[in-house]
Amino acid sequence: MAKIKVVHYVNQFYAGIGGEEKADITPELRVGTVPAGDALNKAWGEEAEITHTIICGDSYFGENMDKASAEIMEMVKSTGADMFIAGPAFNAGRYGVACGTIATNVKNTLGIPVLTGMYVENPGADMYKTQIYIVATKDSGAGMRDAIKKMAPLALKLARGEKIEASCVEGYIPNGVRVNLFEKECGAARAVKMLIAKLNDKPFVTEFPMPDFDRVEPNPAVLDMSKATVALCTSGGSVPKGNPDRIESSSASHYGEYDITGVMSMDGDHWETAHGGYDPVYVNEDGNRCLPVDVLREMEASGRIGKLHNKFYTTVGNGTAVLSSKAFAEEYAQKMINDGVDCVIMTST
C-alpha cells in the first residue's frame, strides 16, 4: 500500500516563526514539516508522511475566518493529500478554533479524513467535537509527546477507513456517539472497585459522568423585602386542576403561567400537579406543599414581603432537557422583570 500523504496545519508559533507579534501572518504553504510534524512522521514510519505544512497566524485566522479558511482550503486541495491534520492546539483558544474550523471544512468539502487535538476546555473542542475527531490533549505544549502518541495511531485508522473504537479506547474527546464495548468485569465488580477507590481517596473514573453545567454570579441581595414583589416558580408541575395547558408529565415541552390574584391557598379542589416523576398524592391533596402560596399570603398581610406576584411560572422538571428549561426560564424571567418582580423563589421536588 502506498504511503499515506498528509498535510499538516500549524500556527505561527509551532512553525517557529514567532509568538503573538507574528500572529497576523497570512496563510503559507510549505513543502516539508515543522517539529510537531516530524514527531508524527517518526511515529508513522513507512505508513504515512506529512508532505506539506500550512502555516497561518492565529490572529489573522481569527479576524478573517472566511477568507483565511478559503485560502487554506485551496492550499490543501493543491497538495492532493489523503489526510489533513491540524495542531495539536492544546489550550490555545484561537489556534483550537482555527484547527477545528479548517479540519471541519476540509472534511466537508474535500471529503478526506481529518484529525486534530486539543485540551478539553479549548473553545474549539466544544465547537467541533461532534463533527470531527479531536484527540484530548494536555493543556500546554508540554503534552506534545502524549498528544502525538494518541494522534498518530488514530490518524492511521482514519486514513485507512478502519473502525474507530470508543473515545476511552482511542483517546478522542467524546463526540456524543455511543460505541458498544464489552468490559472484562461485570458492573457489580467495577462498582465495588470504584467505591473502594473512592473510600481510599484514590482516583477512579466514573462510567456515568454528569453533564457540565456553567455558573452564574449571584445577584445582590434584596435590600427591603417589605417593599419587594416576590414571584413563585416551580419545577414541581403545579397547575390548575385538569392541567388546561397539558404540560407533559415528563420531558415537558412548555411551561405554564397562571394567575393567582386573590388565591389564598393552593387547595386541592382547584390545583394539582402534572409531574410524573414523584408520587402526586400529597401535592394534589394540598398544593401549598409544592408552591407555598398560603404562607406567602400571610407574609404579604403582615408586611414581611411587599407583595406576592400575581402570576406563577411552572413546568415539570421530570426528564425535561436542560436546553428546554433554559429556554423556558429565559422567557419567563423577562416577563417577571417587565412586571416589576424583585426576587424569585423557585421550588423543586
Task: List residues binding another protein (CB under 8 A).
Answer: 210, 213-223, 225, 230, 233, 235-236, 278-283, 285-286, 288-292, 294-296, 298-299, 304-305, 315, 325-326, 328-330, 333-334, 336-337, 341-349
**Separation of alpha carbons 140 and 137, rounded Å:** 8
Q: Which is nearer to another protein, 181 or 210 (CB)?
A: 210
Q: Which is nearer to another protein, 55 or 305 (CB)?
A: 305
Q: Which is nearer to another protein, 47 or 294 (CB)?
A: 294
For residues 146 and 138, is the Cβ–Cβ distance under 8 A? Answer: yes
DSSP 113-130: -EEEEE-TTSHHHHHHTT
Q: How many CA atoms lie within 13 A of 9 on its CB side?
A: 35
Name the E strands within 169-237.
229-234
At its nearest, how many Å lie between another protein and the CB of residue 316?
12
At its nearest, how many Å lie between another protein and the CB of residue 286?
6
For residues 143 and 137, is the Cβ–Cβ distance under 8 A? Answer: yes
At its nearest, how many Å lie between another protein and the CB of residue 343?
5
Q: Which is nearer to another protein, 147 or 290 (CB)?
A: 290
At its nearest, how many Å lie between another protein and the CB of residue 192?
22
At its nearest, how many Å lie between another protein and the CB of residue 206?
13
Let me know the angle formed at the C-alpha of 74 by 70 and 77, rounded to the nearest 5 degrees.
Answer: 135
Q: Which is nearer to another protein, 12 or 234 (CB)?
A: 234
C-alpha cell, 226: 417589605
Task: Give the burial class of 27: count Cβ atoms within 10 A of its Cβ; 0-12 exposed, 13-18 middle, 19 or more buried.
Answer: buried
